[in-house]
Structure 1
Amino acid sequence: MSKGDKSAYTDKQKRQVKHIEEGYEEKGVPAKEAKRRAWATENKISGGGRKSGSGRAH
Protein backbone atom coordinates (compact mmCIF):
# COMPACT_ATOMS: atom_id res chain seq x y z
CA MET A 1 0.00 0.00 0.00
CA SER A 2 1.46 3.34 -1.04
CA LYS A 3 1.45 6.48 1.04
CA GLY A 4 -1.96 8.14 0.83
CA ASP A 5 -3.79 4.95 -0.21
CA LYS A 6 -7.21 4.90 1.45
CA SER A 7 -8.24 1.37 0.38
CA ALA A 8 -7.63 -0.03 3.88
CA TYR A 9 -10.42 2.11 5.35
CA THR A 10 -14.02 0.99 5.79
CA ASP A 11 -16.94 2.78 4.17
CA LYS A 12 -17.98 4.02 7.62
CA GLN A 13 -14.53 5.53 8.21
CA LYS A 14 -14.64 7.24 4.80
CA ARG A 15 -18.10 8.69 5.57
CA GLN A 16 -16.84 9.98 8.92
CA VAL A 17 -13.87 11.65 7.22
CA LYS A 18 -16.21 13.40 4.77
CA HIS A 19 -18.32 14.69 7.65
CA ILE A 20 -15.26 15.88 9.61
CA GLU A 21 -13.88 17.55 6.47
CA GLU A 22 -17.14 19.45 5.92
CA GLY A 23 -16.99 20.68 9.51
CA TYR A 24 -13.50 22.07 9.04
CA GLU A 25 -14.52 23.77 5.78
CA GLU A 26 -17.49 25.42 7.54
CA LYS A 27 -14.97 26.90 9.99
CA GLY A 28 -13.07 28.49 7.09
CA VAL A 29 -10.23 25.98 6.71
CA PRO A 30 -9.05 25.63 3.07
CA ALA A 31 -10.26 22.44 1.34
CA LYS A 32 -6.83 20.77 1.05
CA GLU A 33 -6.00 21.45 4.70
CA ALA A 34 -9.48 20.35 5.80
CA LYS A 35 -9.02 17.01 4.03
CA ARG A 36 -5.60 16.48 5.64
CA ARG A 37 -6.95 17.33 9.10
CA ALA A 38 -10.01 15.10 8.61
CA TRP A 39 -7.86 12.03 7.84
CA ALA A 40 -5.55 12.83 10.76
CA THR A 41 -8.58 13.10 13.05
CA GLU A 42 -10.01 9.79 11.82
CA ASN A 43 -6.66 8.08 12.34
CA LYS A 44 -6.56 9.38 15.89
CA ILE A 45 -10.12 8.17 16.57
CA SER A 46 -9.90 4.73 14.94
CA GLY A 47 -6.19 4.01 14.95
CA GLY A 48 -5.98 3.79 11.16
CA GLY A 49 -7.46 1.45 8.56
CA ARG A 50 -9.24 -1.87 9.01
CA LYS A 51 -8.27 -3.92 12.02
CA SER A 52 -8.87 -7.64 12.15
CA GLY A 53 -9.08 -10.02 15.06
CA SER A 54 -10.47 -9.67 18.53
CA GLY A 55 -8.51 -8.39 21.44
CA ARG A 56 -6.46 -5.82 19.60
CA ALA A 57 -4.80 -3.36 21.91
CA HIS A 58 -6.00 0.24 22.19
Structure 2
Amino acid sequence: MPKAWSDKRERQFEHIKDSEKEQGASSRRAEEIAARTVNKHRAQSGEAHTASGTSVRDMSPQRRGGLRSGTNRPKGPTRDQLYNEAKKCNIEGRSKMTKGQLARALGRV
Protein backbone atom coordinates (compact mmCIF):
# COMPACT_ATOMS: atom_id res chain seq x y z
CA MET A 1 0.00 0.00 0.00
CA PRO A 2 1.31 3.46 -0.85
CA LYS A 3 2.53 5.70 1.97
CA ALA A 4 0.12 8.47 0.91
CA TRP A 5 -2.90 6.44 2.04
CA SER A 6 -4.54 7.29 5.33
CA ASP A 7 -5.44 4.66 7.92
CA LYS A 8 -9.00 4.77 6.63
CA ARG A 9 -7.87 4.03 3.07
CA GLU A 10 -5.66 1.17 4.27
CA ARG A 11 -8.64 -0.38 6.08
CA GLN A 12 -10.77 0.13 2.98
CA PHE A 13 -8.09 -1.56 0.85
CA GLU A 14 -7.96 -4.61 3.14
CA HIS A 15 -11.76 -4.88 3.25
CA ILE A 16 -12.11 -4.74 -0.54
CA LYS A 17 -9.22 -7.17 -1.04
CA ASP A 18 -10.76 -9.70 1.38
CA SER A 19 -14.15 -9.31 -0.28
CA GLU A 20 -12.69 -9.95 -3.74
CA LYS A 21 -10.87 -13.05 -2.49
CA GLU A 22 -14.14 -14.38 -1.05
CA GLN A 23 -15.73 -13.88 -4.46
CA GLY A 24 -13.09 -16.04 -6.10
CA ALA A 25 -10.47 -13.56 -7.29
CA SER A 26 -6.79 -14.45 -7.04
CA SER A 27 -4.68 -12.60 -4.46
CA ARG A 28 -2.98 -10.55 -7.14
CA ARG A 29 -6.24 -9.62 -8.86
CA ALA A 30 -7.91 -8.83 -5.52
CA GLU A 31 -5.08 -6.44 -4.61
CA GLU A 32 -5.29 -4.76 -8.01
CA ILE A 33 -9.06 -4.23 -7.76
CA ALA A 34 -8.75 -2.94 -4.19
CA ALA A 35 -5.96 -0.50 -5.05
CA ARG A 36 -7.81 0.85 -8.08
CA THR A 37 -11.00 1.29 -6.05
CA VAL A 38 -9.23 3.09 -3.20
CA ASN A 39 -7.34 5.34 -5.61
CA LYS A 40 -10.57 6.23 -7.40
CA HIS A 41 -12.18 7.15 -4.08
CA ARG A 42 -9.17 9.29 -3.23
CA ALA A 43 -9.44 11.07 -6.58
CA GLN A 44 -13.18 11.69 -6.19
CA SER A 45 -12.80 13.06 -2.66
CA GLY A 46 -9.88 15.33 -3.59
CA GLU A 47 -7.25 13.45 -1.55
CA ALA A 48 -5.07 12.60 -4.56
CA HIS A 49 -2.50 15.11 -5.83
CA THR A 50 -3.28 14.16 -9.44
CA ALA A 51 -6.31 12.43 -10.89
CA SER A 52 -7.53 11.62 -14.37
CA GLY A 53 -10.68 13.30 -15.58
CA THR A 54 -12.49 10.00 -15.89
CA SER A 55 -11.72 9.07 -12.29
CA VAL A 56 -13.23 12.29 -11.04
CA ARG A 57 -16.29 12.40 -13.34
CA ASP A 58 -17.14 8.68 -13.50
CA MET A 59 -19.67 6.99 -11.20
CA SER A 60 -18.41 5.63 -7.88
CA PRO A 61 -17.06 2.05 -7.78
CA GLN A 62 -19.93 0.95 -5.50
CA ARG A 63 -22.58 2.23 -7.87
CA ARG A 64 -20.84 0.67 -10.83
CA GLY A 65 -20.84 -2.75 -9.17
CA GLY A 66 -20.76 -5.65 -11.62
CA LEU A 67 -21.09 -3.49 -14.72
CA ARG A 68 -18.44 -4.09 -17.32
CA SER A 69 -17.92 -1.33 -19.81
CA GLY A 70 -17.01 -2.07 -23.41
CA THR A 71 -18.42 -5.59 -23.61
CA ASN A 72 -21.50 -7.12 -25.15
CA ARG A 73 -21.65 -10.06 -22.74
CA PRO A 74 -24.20 -10.21 -19.95
CA LYS A 75 -23.44 -7.98 -16.97
CA GLY A 76 -23.27 -9.07 -13.37
CA PRO A 77 -21.26 -11.56 -11.33
CA THR A 78 -18.94 -14.05 -12.99
CA ARG A 79 -19.58 -17.78 -13.04
CA ASP A 80 -16.91 -18.27 -10.39
CA GLN A 81 -18.56 -15.72 -8.12
CA LEU A 82 -21.93 -17.45 -8.57
CA TYR A 83 -20.31 -20.84 -7.93
CA ASN A 84 -18.76 -19.63 -4.66
CA GLU A 85 -22.12 -18.27 -3.54
CA ALA A 86 -23.81 -21.58 -4.48
CA LYS A 87 -21.14 -23.42 -2.49
CA LYS A 88 -21.98 -21.33 0.59
CA CYS A 89 -25.67 -22.17 0.08
CA ASN A 90 -24.87 -25.91 -0.35
CA ILE A 91 -26.61 -26.13 -3.73
CA GLU A 92 -26.17 -29.66 -5.08
CA GLY A 93 -24.84 -30.22 -8.61
CA ARG A 94 -23.27 -26.76 -8.74
CA SER A 95 -20.00 -27.99 -10.26
CA LYS A 96 -21.77 -29.03 -13.47
CA MET A 97 -23.98 -25.94 -13.74
CA THR A 98 -23.51 -23.14 -16.24
CA LYS A 99 -23.52 -19.48 -15.25
CA GLY A 100 -27.22 -19.18 -16.11
CA GLN A 101 -28.13 -22.32 -14.19
CA LEU A 102 -26.23 -21.09 -11.14
CA ALA A 103 -28.00 -17.73 -11.32
CA ARG A 104 -31.40 -19.45 -11.51
CA ALA A 105 -30.54 -21.80 -8.64
CA LEU A 106 -29.58 -18.78 -6.53
CA GLY A 107 -32.78 -16.99 -7.46
CA ARG A 108 -31.04 -14.21 -9.37
CA VAL A 109 -33.09 -14.60 -12.56
TM-score when normalising by structure 1? 0.70
In structure 2, runs of 5+ residues without a counterpart are: 48-55, 57-109
* 2:10 counterpart residue number: 14
Deviation of 1:27 after TM superposition, in Å, equals 0.4
Instruction: Tell me whether 1:32 sits opposite 2:28 in the alignment.
Output: yes
- Output the aligned Cα RMSD: 2.1
Higher relative contact order (CA 8 A, sep 6+): 1
TM-score when normalising by structure 2? 0.39
2:12 match: secondary structure: helix
Instruction: Tell me whether 1:46 sits opposite 2:9 in the alignment.
Output: no
Work out the number of aligned pairs and report it.
Answer: 47
Task: Provide Cα deviations, 1:1-20, integer angstroms capped at 9, x if missing partner.
Answer: xxxx6001101100000000
In structure 1, runs of 5+ residues without a counterpart are: 52-57
- Kindly name which structure, 1 or 2, has the bigger radius of gyration based on alpha carbons: 2
Moved over 3 A (4+): none
